[in-house]
C-alpha cells in the first residue's frame, strides 16, 4: 500500500510542477514582432491607399502586438488612453510611459508621447481590439 501511495504522490507532484512551469514561463507568439523582419507590406489593389509613417509601429500593430505593448494588468492602459481618453486619469502618464518602453523593447523604435496619443493609434486600437 505504501508503494501505491508513493506512485500516486509522485505523479501528482509531476503534474503540479509541469502545470506551474506551463503557466509561469512566457509563451512564444505565433505572430512575429514588427521588428522581426523588414519586408514591406504589399500595396492593396483598392483605390484608397493608407499611408502610415514607418516611425510609429502602433499604427500597424496586430492584435497580439497591441496585447503585448498596451498593458492590461494591473492597470488597463487601453481603456485609460483609448476608450476614456481622460488626461486627468490617475495612471494616464504612467500608461504612456509604459507603452513607449514596451514598444522600444520589442521593436527598437523610439516613439514619443504624441505618437502614443495620435488619434489614428486610438482608432486602430479600437478597431483591432474590438473596443466600444
Q: From residue 95, give the alpha-carbon distance in Å to each of 25, 54, 73, 112, 127.
A: 25, 22, 11, 13, 20
Task: Give φ, ψ of 75 to 5 degrees.
Answer: -120, 130
Burial category of 129 from C-beta neighbours within 10 Å (exposed 0-12, middle 13-18, buried 19 and up)? middle
Domain regions of the chain by residue span: 48-129
Regarding pTM above 0.75, the answer is: no
Q: Within a 10 A sphere around the Cβ of 57, how many other Cβ atoms?
A: 23
Indicate the SS3 state at residue 37.
coil
Res 41: pLDDT: 59
Walk along the chain (132 residues) and give the pLDDT tens digit of each residue. Answer: 788 888 889 888 888 888 777 767 666 555 555 555 555 556 556 555 555 455 789 999 999 999 999 988 788 888 888 888 888 888 899 999 999 999 999 988 899 999 999 999 999 989 998 865
Amino acid at each position: 500500500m505504501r508503494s501505491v501511495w508513493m506512485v500516486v504522490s509522485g505523479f501528482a507532484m509531476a503534474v503540479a510542477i509541469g502545470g506551474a512551469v506551463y503557466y509561469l514561463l512566457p509563451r512564444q507568439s505565433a505572430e512575429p514582432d514588427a521588428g522581426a523582419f523588414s519586408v514591406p507590406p504589399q500595396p492593396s489593389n483598392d483605390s484608397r491607399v493608407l499611408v502610415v509613417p514607418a516611425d510609429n509601429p502602433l499604427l500597424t500593430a496586430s492584435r497580439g502586438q497591441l496585447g503585448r505593448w498596451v498593458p492590461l494588468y494591473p492597470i488597463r492602459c487601453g481603456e485609460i488612453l483609448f476608450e476614456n481618453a481622460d488626461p486627468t486619469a490617475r495612471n494616464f502618464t504612467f500608461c504612456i510611459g509604459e507603452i513607449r518602453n514596451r514598444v522600444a523593447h520589442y521593436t527598437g523604435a523610439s516613439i514619443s508621447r504624441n505618437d502614443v496619443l495620435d488619434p489614428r493609434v486610438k482608432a486602430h486600437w479600437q478597431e483591432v481590439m474590438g473596443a466600444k
